[in-house]
Structure 1
Amino acid sequence: MTRKPLLLASSSPYRKTLLERLGLPFTCASPDIDESPEPDESGESLATRLAVNKARALADRFPGHWIIGSDQVACLPDGSVLSKPGGHEQAAHQLRQSSGRRVLFLTGLALLDADSGRLECLCEPYNVRFRELTDAEIEAYLQQEKPYDCAGSFKMEGLGITLFEALEGRDPNSLVGLPLIALNDMLRRWGRNPLLENRPEPEKT
């Protein structure tokens, strides 16, 4: 299969930093999609649908690319979805809801060939067990990190780690926003192996 340049369908600095870890060249572009959930849509369906829609939204603008889309939602034990809070008050409400509970984070991932329409997608689950949080801790955390653009109202790569009792899942990168293990698997199936592409040239003797 012909290798095509990679495009990350995101303006998120967190996803950009994660994708850089694979050592493959890529560019970024921001998709413009409606992220509203459909009536009675499950968290898994929403995360996967948004990841696919992000990739497809850029296909016409970027022919000749393999496009990576990703999106994340968080689900409380009762199935209710925690989206990006957008502001302080909603973020505080989300953290009070999560306090002392297990929250399921679902990260949708899509890899799309802009030319052929070939698509591979999945939803990566990751469980977070929040410790019991006081109102003072919630307020102090939000004032310091302001995670208002993050599903679940925390930044796992920062002080968010202080909010947890335990993390449970196969790929902690998915909690930041991009499941690198699953993406690596997809890329290898499509003929791109980051390990082999990143090999240094043998020294000449």
Structure 2
Amino acid sequence: MQDTAALAPQTGRPALILASSSRYRRELLERLRIPFDTAVPAIDETPQPGETPEATALRLAVAKARAVAAALPASAGRSLVIGSDQVATFDGHQIGKPGTHERALEQLRAMRGREVLFHSALSLLDSATGRTDTVDVVTKVRFRDLPDAALDAYLRAEQPYDCAGSAKSEGLGIALLEAIESDDPTALIGLPLIALTRMLLAAGYPLLTTPQEARE
């Protein structure tokens, strides 16, 4: 886990910490133009027996935030810790990250012409109160029925082997998709920003401020 000893806020804002090693989540959070740090939570992400996809995603999102919050030094002051996890499901089974070209091609072959559900769970933990706000944002994705050659060409071009579902909707992978249904367009990428900004505002975190206000 990253050293978080220097996370005490320099202004009236609480420190904001993203409990994730994902570059996709980091890039999404950067869109909000607010200061934050990252820490990698050390947790077991194995689904529990009989656990639903939604329950898995929510449990892991909360566990990531709690693991990082528990490691904060007393000098850190109040911190808001963001935990997030995503579970994709197809035909009632959880779909993990493929890891290899062969497994990614196998996933895409199975999902072509079919609908896949992505559970993007989000947790915001307030270290001052211990309060945790959670939500599961569900995205329905329907894949196009494309031939093996097209699927193989896509995988070699973008190599999305660290993405559940084997396709990056924010990149060339959009060509594999027939439709996306969601209340939050960023949820599929990995961090539901509409839900997160709602949580941050509810926690009293200032999102839209002038440079002068940000220094106060």
Taking structure 1 as the reference length, the TM-score comes to: 0.91
| CA deviation after TM superposition for structure 1 residue 72, in Å | 0.5
Q: Partner of 1:29 in structure 2?
A: 39
Tell me the CA shift for residue 108 of structure 1.
0.6
Deviation digits for residues 135-163 of structure 1, max 9, x if unmatched?
A: 11111111111111111111111111010
Whole-Å Cα distance in 2 between the matches of residues 39 and 11 of structure 1?
26
The gaps in structure 1 that reach 5 residues or longer are none
Superposition map of 1:95-110 within 5 A: 95-110=108-123
| In structure 2, C-alpha distance between the alignment counterparts of 1:81 and 1:88, rounded to whole Å | 19
Q: Deviations over 1:49-80 (max 9, x none)?
A: 1111111111122243211011101111x211
Aligned counterparts of 1:114 and 1:88: Cα–Cα separation in 2? 41
Q: Does 1:163 align with 2:176?
A: yes
Q: Is the 8 A contact 1:83 1:151 kept in 2?
A: yes
SS at match of 1:74: strand
**In the alignment, which residue of structure 2 is the partner of 1:129?**
142
The answer to whether 1:51 aligns with 2:61 is yes
- Listed as ranges, the gaps of 5+ residues in structure 2 are 1-11
Residue 185 of structure 1: which of 198, 201, 205 is its match?
Answer: 198
Distance in 1 (alpha carbons) for counterparts of 2:13 and 2:35: 12
- Distance, in Å, in 1 between the alignment partners of 2:188 and 2:85 is 11
Distance 2:19 2:125 in 1: 10
Conserved? CA contact 1:15–1:178, under 8 Å? yes
Q: How many residues align?
A: 198
2:104 counterpart of 1:91: yes
Q: Which segments of structure 1 move beyond 3 Å, counting only runs of 4 or more?
A: none
**Native 8 Å contact 2:13 2:206 kept in 1:** no
Does 177-186 or 83-92 show the bigger shift? 83-92
CA change 1:31–1:200 in 2 (3 A) is same
- Look up the equivalent residue of 1:96 and give its one-letter code: R
Contact 2:14 2:205 in 1 (8 A): no
Q: Confirm whether residue 73 of structure 1 aligns to residue 87 of structure 2.
A: yes
TM-score (norm 2): 0.87
Which residue pairs with 1:150 in the alignment?
163
Match 1:42 to one of 43, 47, 52: 52
Identity among equivalent positions (%) equals 55
Q: For 1:169-200, what per-residue CA distance to the aligned partner results, in whole angstroms no more than 9, with x for missing partners?
A: 111100000000000110111011312x3x35
Per-residue CA shift, 1:104-139, capped at 9, x if unaligned? Answer: 111010001234321111110011111102111111
Local SS of the residue matching 2:188: helix
Name the aligned partner's letter for residue 58 of structure 2. Answer: T
- Looking at structure 2, the residues matched to 105 and 157 of structure 1 have their Cα atoms a distance apart, in angstroms, of 15
Q: Distance in 2 between matches of 1:89 and 1:32?
A: 28
Distance in 2, matches of 1:141 and 1:150, equals 14
SS in 2 for 1:58: helix
Q: What is the alpha-carbon distance in structure 1 between the residues aligned to residue 127 and residue 58 of structure 2?
A: 18
CA distance in structure 1 between the partners assigned to 2:107 and 2:130 by the alignment: 37
**CA RMSD, Structure 1 to Structure 2 (Å):** 1.6
